[in-house]
């Protein structure tokens, strides 16, 4: 039987509550499927580890992760550790270290969940954001001078390479070609930022020639923010830079009813190194420890992981079970207006796996 080695990194806050639930769900899914097995190895890296050892993960952390088939990640960030330390020391270290250049973020309104957008139904909200995940605004290039003085200066540079822009745009076109609507929106701010995003526009036009079946449009990021709220039904695949994709996907999750339902994959398409799957939300210190975090974003990330591993039947089984649970509307966490606890949702989804 096929066995996949999965590295599990719960991280901080609600990451520690939802990741074990995803492991429970995945083990049950594999058992029901009967064609594959999953072996989990858990790594206690994150802010507690930092407070004890002075680093978010050991120096050989990436070395240890290389051999796994995939990584399942909870969330990082805790008030005692500066966010830039926790994010760069773990999540970004893995995404950039393993060149997981695609951050795939599907946005779907699940049945039974009410969107804050009046009158929008699951038929209206079903698109995917392809966020560039290794360069752009999040390369850490910049610096500060004259610290603390009135003339202090801070520079944060956005870095775009032709190779980096081309590979993400091509990935987005390929995805648009596989989806029924064949539409792609390329998001930039090329009216105001005339170097990096001019490169995006040029590369987009060039790559578009290879995909005549895809209808492509350029959309400025501010207009896209409005469009996502007013006309989400016009969106299919959206490709955006690291920062723009980050912001737009919190908005996308919000129109799907909660930050707690949105999944993501940090993907290295050539599979030379492992990809990493995680909900898009953070560690939510405001609700951590109370057992009420919504695990659905984590579950749908687990489904993305199975799909990436080639276990489409298992992935579909999880998605259907989640949809049956939300459609029934009985077992929802407080962020979705219910009063269920995290474990109740897992139990309901597990029960729905074999329906």
Which residue in the list 189, 236, 335, 344 is annotated as catalytic?
189
Q: Which does 287 bind (CB under 5 to 8 A by kind): ligand NAI, Mg ion, none?
A: ligand NAI
Distance of CA 254 to the CA centre of its chain: 14
Q: CA-to-CA distance for 260 and 298, rounded, in angstroms?
A: 8
- Shortest distance, CB of residue 149 to ligand NAI, whole angstroms? 28
The contact pattern for ligand NAI, residues 53-72, with x = CB under 6 A and - = no contact, is --------------------
Q: CA-to-CA distance for 187 and 219, rounded, in angstroms?
A: 5
Pick from 241, 234, 221, 109: nearest CA to 172? 241
Total residues at the site for ligand NAI (CB under 6 A)?
22
Q: Which of 46, 106, 274, 282 binds ligand NAI (CB under 6 A)?
A: 282
Q: CA-to-CA distance for 105 and 249, rounded, in angstroms?
A: 7
Q: Which residues of 107-145 are buried (b: 16+ CB within 10 A; e: fewer)?
A: bbbbebbebebeebebebbbbbbbbbbbbbbbbeeeeee
H runs (alpha helix) in 54-160: 61-65, 83-86, 92-97
Under rule CB under 6 A, residue 132 binds ligand NAI = no
Can you tell me which residue has the tokens 């830079």?
241
The verdict on whether 355 is a catalytic residue reads no
CA torsion sign for 17, 22, 27, 32 is: positive
For ligand NAI, the binding residues in 5-24 under the rule CB under 6 A are 14
- Confirm if 227 and 219 have CB atoms less than 8 A apart: yes
SS3 84: helix
The verdict on whether 222 is a catalytic residue reads yes
CB atoms within 10 A of CB 54: 7
Under rule CB under 6 A, residue 134 binds ligand NAI = no
The contact pattern for ligand NAI, residues 148-187, with x = CB under 6 A and - = no contact, is ----------------------------------------
Under rule CB under 6 A, residue 105 binds ligand NAI = no
Token reading at 191: 């009216």
Q: Which of 67, 83, 152, 156 binds ligand NAI (CB under 6 A)?
A: 83
Smaller CB separation from ligand NAI, 125 or 293: 293
Q: Which does 246 bind (CB under 5 to 8 A by kind): Mg ion, ligand NAI, none?
A: Mg ion
- Shortest distance, CB of residue 36 to ligand NAI, whole angstroms? 27
The verdict on whether 48 is a catalytic residue reads no
* Strand 142-145 with 263-267, pairing: unpaired
- Shortest distance, CB of residue 169 to ligand NAI, whole angstroms? 24
Pick from 121, 119, 107, 133: nearest CA to 236? 107
The contact pattern for Mg ion, residues 240-279, with x = CB under 5 A and - = no contact, is ------x---------------------------------
Token reading at 17: 């509550």
Q: Which residues of this protein are in contact with Mg ion, per CB under 5 A?
A: 246
List contacts with ligand NAI (CB under 6 A).
14, 75-77, 83, 87, 91, 259-260, 278, 281-287, 293-294, 297, 333, 335
């Amino acid at each position: 039987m096929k066995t996949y080695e999965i590295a599990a990194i719960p991280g901080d806050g609600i990451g520690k509550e939802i990741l074990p639930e995803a492991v429970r769900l995945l083990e049950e899914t594999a058992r029901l499927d009967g064609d594959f097995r999953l072996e989990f190895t858990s790594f206690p890296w994150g802010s507690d580890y930092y407070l004890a050892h002075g680093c978010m993960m050991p120096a050989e952390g990436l070395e240890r992760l290389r051999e796994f088939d995939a990584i399942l990640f909870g969330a990082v960030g805790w008030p005692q550790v500066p966010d830039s330390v926790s994010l760069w020391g773990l999540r970004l270290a893995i995404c950039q270290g393993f060149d997981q250049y695609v951050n795939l973020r599907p946005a779907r309104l699940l049945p039974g969940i009410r969107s804050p957008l009046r009158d929008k139904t699951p038929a209206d909200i079903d698109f995917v954001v392809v966020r560039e995940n290794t360069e752009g605004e999040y390369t850490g290039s910049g610096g500060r001078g004259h610290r603390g003085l009135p003339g202090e200066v801070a520079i944060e540079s956005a870095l775009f390479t032709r190779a980096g822009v081309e590979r993400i745009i091509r990935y987005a076109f390929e995805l648009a070609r596989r989806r029924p609507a064949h539409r792609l929106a390329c998001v930039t701010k090329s009216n105001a930022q005339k170097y990096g995003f001019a490169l995006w526009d040029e590369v987009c036009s060039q790559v578009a020639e290879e995909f005549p079946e895809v209808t492509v449009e350029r959309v400025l990021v501010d207009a896209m923010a409005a469009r996502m709220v007013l006309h989400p039904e016009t969106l299919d695949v959206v490709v955006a830079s690291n920062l723009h994709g980050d912001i737009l996907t919190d908005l996308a999750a919000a129109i799907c009813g909660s930050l707690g339902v949105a999944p993501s994959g940090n993907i290295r398409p050539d599979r030379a190194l492992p990809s990493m799957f995680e909900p898009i939300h953070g560690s939510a210190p405001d609700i951590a420890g109370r057992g009420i975090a919504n695990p659905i974003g984590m579950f749908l990330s687990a489904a993305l992981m199975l799909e990436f591993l080639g276990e489409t039947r298992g992935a579909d089984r999880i998605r259907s079970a989640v949809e049956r649970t939300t459609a029934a509307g009985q077992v929802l966490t407080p962020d979705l207006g219910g009063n269920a606890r995290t474990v109740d949702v897992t139990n309901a989804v597990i029960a729905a796996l074999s329906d």
